[in-house]
Amino acid sequence: MLSRPGLLQTLRRTFASTSTSTASSPSLIASLKQISPALLDQNPYELDRHGRGESFHPSLPPDAICHPRSAEEVKQIVKLCASTGTALVPFGAGTSLEGHVGNASPHITISTTKHFNKLVSVDPASLQCTVQPGITRHQLNHELRDTGLQFMVDPGADASIGGMAATNASGTSAVKFGVMRDNVLQVKVVTASGEEVTAGSRTFKNSAGYDLKNLFVGSEGTLGIITELTLRLHPIVDNIVSSVCAFENLTQACDAVVMLLSCGVPVAKCEVLDGPAIHAFNIFSKDVADMTPQPHLFVELQDISDGGLLSQQEMVEEILRDCGGSGIEFSADPAVRKKLWAARHATYYASCALRPGEGKGIVTDACVPLGKLASVIAATAKDVEESGVVGPVFGHAGDGNFHCILPVRDTDSDEYLKKLEDVNDRLISRTLAAGGTCTGEHGVGSGKAKYLDQQYGEGAVEIMRTIKKSMDPQNIFNPGKIIPNSEG
Amino acid sequence: MLSRPGLLQTLRRTFASTSTSTASSPSLIASLKQISPALLDQNPYELDRHGRGESFHPSLPPDAICHPRSAEEVKQIVKLCASTGTALVPFGAGTSLEGHVGNASPHITISTTKHFNKLVSVDPASLQCTVQPGITRHQLNHELRDTGLQFMVDPGADASIGGMAATNASGTSAVKFGVMRDNVLQVKVVTASGEEVTAGSRTFKNSAGYDLKNLFVGSEGTLGIITELTLRLHPIVDNIVSSVCAFENLTQACDAVVMLLSCGVPVAKCEVLDGPAIHAFNIFSKDVADMTPQPHLFVELQDISDGGLLSQQEMVEEILRDCGGSGIEFSADPAVRKKLWAARHATYYASCALRPGEGKGIVTDACVPLGKLASVIAATAKDVEESGVVGPVFGHAGDGNFHCILPVRDTDSDEYLKKLEDVNDRLISRTLAAGGTCTGEHGVGSGKAKYLDQQYGEGAVEIMRTIKKSMDPQNIFNPGKIIPNSEG
């Protein structure tokens, strides 16, 4: 009955019992144990957990999990897997939203958050630090708290820095502080030969040769295993205000964003939420505000001085009002701001909770040229409403990046799932027609691979395939991810 | 007598008569003429000019110059060259400082500034525009003048946007607005197959697959010919002040830069000049100021409001004073600022003019982690002084990037040239030992290729070589550049 089986079949698989692991060579497992007895994990719960992220993609568990403590151990693991042609998948905090972790091939997972999660060094005068890949962003900022510096990239989840680099993640701070590619200065990576290479440099600028650093950042574990990252840090600024502002429609809200950026307002965060998203948000943030369920902008401003902050605030208020904003409220209270952004970060979970029952969310991740945001986001919200599905829309308006969360339940009918699939397909088509990308911050994984040809054309995808083949000729690193038909 | 012949031999070649072109296949030339009679140029003056940039590297002229008008014509040229195995070198405004243009192999040059230099479109609401590669940065900003937007990357020369992308160029604005990789959203490139591919997207964020955009940006014509670029633009801000401030020594000046950035001051420009550079600067800027020849910082601030600007100015003044700065002067007069930065941009030429006679400059381009800038720049200035050579030191302090200009003359003795070579070698060693890069913004070309192994280690360079081979198997695109021993 359904012409496009992809997403629907995937969803059905998600709710089926998870696949059992296909045994990798017993001698490989024995050899991995040799590296260190504490290194290997075959606990069934952990195998299942390491086979999936947080979205609808089904668990594809590994045969075994390795918890290395050093680059030296990663090198040994890679060499062992290379010698047996066994696939290897890196795993951080398990917060992937596009089926990056787990693999349809029999594979070993390298899990980083248990033992490979240290802050290696901080160089405050150079505004940077060096970390192992398994450290999470909250853990990192906690450890940095006495330096006056912080790491700015903030996806919703408490992801690992290695995982964030692998997907070129970002979040609400990207509009001012950039994405992972802007904040990772250097990476060390164990490549297919089992050697560790250094890409990038510990400088803010670098024109020395091909940009291998940015090739590894965003490569989703398909070109090697990241073993160390040097990160750009930013000073903690105390003068901050957050504002919320309602609009009659999404077009007005997005036009206000264009106006803010065109006037050069250095917004620190700039988030849009549609009516249904505000409804979901309200449920998770009763102690922050009870907002009318209509489109809102959340704008955060920061400045080194009170005077500068006040000037920004005045200009923002004027722009928001000129663009039709109402009920504008500013708050400088750190407690209020903290709750506001905690609730905003939880919008994915809040959106999933709009539909009761056991389930997950399809998380779209469209990003369009800023001037196209109003039309694309408004058309998406309208499509969701007319299709009769639940799908709050919200996102990083200053970047032209938004998410439409489509919660799925194990009890959903084929008809409902087909509606979700169609909404998703039309969203991607609309995004690409506007010159956008199918993923602004989540990565391709197994979920978006089918759109790459459409987005870039065959030529660019063929170059990606060429690079993958030349750097991983055995196809051991997270096979089948990113590049359409690159598996096997 | 000299143990390391590299630089010295290169310098001697610079002052010898330029090599004559080795004839490419006459049938190739005839075929190129077929594409368009107006396309081909074999004027000897132009051949020589297209064989060199602005620094000491000798001219290695092409057999013929093509002036394409479209991507379609570039595709035809690439296919013709591929079919005959002829090398191809792209050429913009000829302002390269590291021997990117010209080639030791017989080659055809694709020259872009004559006919392939249009502003294709502007999308103000998306803060971006699309250009052909031959447009120069001044030409672009002139054409954008009515949009309220500007392109921010500003190397000293009026370089072509294609050339700036090829070397990942930057300039005085990088500290706030980033380098070419931050400001090029999307490129179209004709690759070895003769087809045009699209890399990157017209969005501010993109996590879809390998970062081919940043692979092409900085690839110096070795992976294909750039045919179109989509650029991020920024609003023109009117509230600007520039300041100059003297210091007793370079360490104090660099410490002040660390303090400015650690306090979160959003400096728009932040340049350091040592005493000799100020001397050179004075000669070129008599109508701006006559500064005492001691280390100076030039800091520019901008803000959307007068109030914000004043707050920044007060904080900057306090920090500069705390760090030992004296004679601090702020100026909001646009005419004064324009002259100040025009003179700063001319420091390369001013430095070369410190030594009379026919000649060029060796332009070093060290970039180090910010906290290492004070020690590396001070040691360099000391080394120059103790070696008895002329070598003003100045640069983009906020990025940890500085240049030591070593003017060379055709009348220079072997002994003097050897001193320059030694100063240069020690500078690179000092930079790499501090975790820096041999080039922050000029690129590798033929001048820095020998340092890549030392900077990255063999592993990363081998990956660059693998990528080059996989994307340009015939080695037709600017052979021998960037990667050590990749030629032939």
Count CB atoms within 10 A of the CB of residue A354.
17
Give the alpha-carbon dihedral of B197, B202, B203, B209, to 10 degrees.
0
Can you tell me the distance from the alpha carbon of B420 to that of B362, in angstroms, rounded to the nearest whole number? 9
- pLDDT for B188-208, tens place per residue? 999 999 999 999 999 999 999
Locus of tokens 């100059």? B244
Residue B32 gets the label, from left (phi > 0), alpha (psi -120 to 50) or beta, of: alpha
A234 near B CB under 8 A: yes
Task: Give yes or no for residue B2 having a pLDDT over 50.
Answer: no
Rounded to the nearest integer, the mean pLDDT of chain B is: 92
Which option is the CATH number for B26-114: 2.60.40.1180, 3.20.20.220, 3.30.43.10, 3.30.470.10?
A: 3.30.43.10
Locus of tokens 């997950």? A360
Measured in angstroms, the CA of A221 and the nearest CA of chain B are apart by 11
- Cβ–Cβ below 8 Å for A201 and B463: no
Contacts of A335 (CB under 8 A, 6+ apart): none
A214 near B CB under 8 A: yes
Residue A1's pLDDT is 32
Residue A11's pLDDT is 57
**What is the per-residue DSSP string for B427-462?**
HHHHHHHTT-BSBSSS--TTTSGGGHHHHH-HHHHH
Residue B392's pLDDT is 96
Name the percent of chain A lying above pLDDT 70: 93
Least confident of A89-103, B8-22, B115-129, B139-153: B8-22
Residue A218 gets the label, from left (phi > 0), alpha (psi -120 to 50) or beta, of: left
Helix (H) or strand (E) holding A40: strand A40-41
How far CA A30 is from CA of A27, A37, A76, in Å, comes to 5, 10, 13
| Residue A325 near residue A252 (C-beta atoms within 8 A) | yes
A270 confidence band (pLDDT: 50, 70, 90): very high
Chain B residues in contact with A221 (beta carbon < 8 A): none
Task: Give yes or no for residue A187 having a pLDDT over 60.
Answer: yes
> What CATH number is given for B239-348 in this structure?
3.30.70.2190
Q: Chain B neighbours among A 16-55 (CB < 8 Å)?
A: none
Chain B residues in contact with A124 (beta carbon < 8 A): 262, 371
Kindly state the tokens that stand for B331: 């100026």
Which letter, b or e, does each residue of B128-152 get, where b requires 16 or more Cβ atoms within 10 Å of its Cβ?
bbbbbbbbbbebbbeebeebebbbb
Query: What is the three-class DSSP state of A145?
Result: helix
Eight-class DSSP state of B23? P
- Cβ–Cβ below 8 Å for B126 and A369: yes
Residue A18's pLDDT is 44
B176 near A CB under 8 A: no
Kindly state the tokens that stand for B70: 């479209």
Can you tell me the distance from the alpha carbon of B420 to that of B364, in angstroms, rounded to the nearest whole number? 11
Can you tell me the distance from the alpha carbon of A458 to that of A87, in angstroms, rounded to the nearest whole number? 26
Residue A21's pLDDT is 44
Radius of gyration from C-alpha coordinates of chain A: 22
Contacts of A99 (CB under 8 A, 6+ apart): A52, A53, A55, A57, A445, A446, A447, A481
Same fold, B119-235 and B355-443: no
Average pLDDT over residues A375-379: 97
Cβ neighbourhood burial of B379 (10 Å; 0-12, 13-18, 19+): middle
Average pLDDT over residues A171-177: 97
Can you tell me the distance from the alpha carbon of A159 to that of A168, in angstroms, rounded to the nearest whole number? 12
Contacts of B153 (CB under 8 A, 6+ apart): B137, B164, B169, B170, B171, B173, B174, B177, B178, B179, B180, B183
A366 confidence band (pLDDT: 50, 70, 90): very high
In single-letter form, the type of residue at position A343 comes to: A
Crossing angle of helices A275-284 and A334-345, in 10° steps, is 120
Closest Cα in chain B to A125: B371
Closest Cα in chain B to A222: B210
> What CATH number is given for B119-235 in this structure?
3.30.465.10
Cβ neighbourhood burial of A330 (10 Å; 0-12, 13-18, 19+): middle
Eight-class DSSP state of B253? H
- Cβ–Cβ below 8 Å for B123 and A371: yes
Q: Chain A neighbours among B 306-345 (CB < 8 Å)?
A: 306-308, 310-312, 314-315
Average pLDDT over residues B106-124: 97
A262 near B CB under 8 A: yes
Residue A19's pLDDT is 44
Can you tell me the distance from the alpha carbon of B315 to that of B333, in angstroms, rounded to the nearest whole number? 20
Closest Cα in chain B to A316: B304
Check whether domain B355-443 has CATH 3.30.70.2740, yes or no: yes
A352 confidence band (pLDDT: 50, 70, 90): confident
- Cβ–Cβ below 8 Å for B369 and A128: yes
Query: What is the three-class DSSP state of A127?
Result: coil
Residue ranges of domains in chain B? 26-114, 119-235, 239-348, 355-443
Task: Give yes or no for residue A28 having a pLDDT over 90.
Answer: no
How many helices (H) and strands (E) chain A has is answered by 18, 19
Sign, Cα dihedral of A39, A40, A45, A49: positive
Kindly state the tokens that stand for A485: 């038909």
Chain B residues in contact with A178 (beta carbon < 8 A): 182
Residue B79's pLDDT is 95
- pLDDT for A70-119, tens place per residue? 999 999 999 999 999 999 999 999 999 999 999 998 999 999 999 999 99
B125 confidence band (pLDDT: 50, 70, 90): very high
Q: How far is CA B406 from the centre of its chain?
A: 17
Count CB atoms within 10 A of the CB of residue A2.
13
| Residue, of A12 and A376, whose pLDDT is higher | A376
| Residue A227 near residue B487 (C-beta atoms within 8 A) | no
Which of A209, A259, A461 minimizes the C-alpha distance to B447?
A209
In single-letter form, the type of residue at position B18 comes to: T
Check whether domain A238-447 has CATH 3.20.20.70, yes or no: no
CATH class of A6-114: alpha beta
User: Which ipTM value was assigned to this complex?
Assistant: 0.95
Can you tell me the distance from the alpha carbon of A208 to that of B428, in angstroms, rounded to the nearest whole number? 13
Average pLDDT over residues B296-321: 96
Residue A17's pLDDT is 42
Q: Which of B205, B257, B262, B303 to probe by mutation at the A interface, max A CB count within 10 Å?
A: B205
- Cβ–Cβ below 8 Å for A266 and B266: yes
A406 confidence band (pLDDT: 50, 70, 90): very high
Measured in angstroms, the CA of B149 and the nearest CA of chain A are apart by 8
Can you tell me the distance from the alpha carbon of A80 to that of A78, in angstroms, rounded to the nearest whole number? 5
User: What is the spatial order of strands in the sheet that A107-111 belongs to?
Assistant: A40-41, A64-66, A107-111, A87-91
